[in-house]
Structure 1
């Protein structure tokens, strides 16, 4: 293994670990929010299905993003469109659709940074303007 390949492996491993730490913290916080909702019904529940345009990604990256969204309590990927890449996500707390959309796009960006090879990081951001269904 060359020095460059070794450095890339270390950088990528660090990115994966950072993502897992960030995502793990997000899952814990989401669990606490959902637990609070269960203990105090009507706390701030505002369900909606939000259209989330994504960064151009491979089908594997799109599937990983959809799976990660579904792992976070309070969110569920309802539908996936590949061209252009769009997720339709049900959120229990989507009172501000633009903020909800930004959180999903942030998850996707951090995931792509972790899974893509060093030097092929996501450079463009997805559009944040979309529409909300189910309001």
Structure 2
């Protein structure tokens, strides 16, 4: 998997060198072209993890950026309006993540989103305690985290 990633980056740099234009869009195009070339060359190999996890990772990054932008807009709107819309609360979130790296990444991603903060992890490492700034419905919030961040993160990690 790492070999394919490094080969893909190398093909991107070769594309940039051959075209002679050092632009971000040109590098991304070279990366996508290299991904396609590697996929065609390695179709018959048994290890196809790179070709399934790379698109999921990119999708996760875009999902995280979208959620972060929407949370920033919500917090900024609440700050500039005279009426406050926040309803703070603490939620016990039962996790499906089990390893330390999965728990660490999940808690970091949740904390990076404005309006949420990880307060504690339970002793048995099965629950997170999250302070939420805009808690309308506890079950809806838990479903959003489970079907959003945690599901996408575990698809990449496992």
TM-score grouping bracket, smaller chain normalisation: 0.7 to 0.9
Which residue, 69, 79, 86 being the options, matches 1:28? Answer: 69
In the superposition, the TM-score normalised over structure 1's length comes to 0.78
Aligned to 2:92: 51
In the superposition, the TM-score normalised over structure 2's length comes to 0.67
Matches within 5 A, 1:96-107: 96-106=137-147, 107=149
Which residue, 108, 112, 119 being the options, matches 2:154? Answer: 112
CA shift in 2, pair 1:82/1:113, >3 Å: farther
Unaligned runs of 5+ in 1: 117-135
Distance in 1 of aligned mates of 2:150 and 2:49 = 21
Please state how far the C-alpha of 1:58 moved relative to its aligned partner. Answer: 0.6
Distance in 2 of aligned mates of 1:76 and 1:84 = 17
Which residue, 109, 115, 134 being the options, matches 1:74? Answer: 115
**Does 2:20 align with 1:18?**
no
CA shift in 2, pair 1:82/1:102, >3 Å: farther
Larger radius of gyration: 2
Counterpart of 1:52 in 2: which secondary structure? strand
Does the CA contact (< 8 Å) of 2:87 and 2:136 recur in 1? yes
**Does 2:136 align with 1:95?**
yes
Please state how far the C-alpha of 1:100 moved relative to its aligned partner. Answer: 1.1
Matches within 5 A, 1:120-131: none
Distance in 1 of aligned mates of 2:107 and 2:86 = 22
| 4+ runs deviating over 6 angstroms | none
Q: Which has the higher contact order (CA 8 A, sep 6+)?
A: 1
Unaligned runs of 5+ in 2: 4-41
Distance in 1 of aligned mates of 2:50 and 2:141 = 33
The structure carrying a bigger strand percent of its residues is: 1
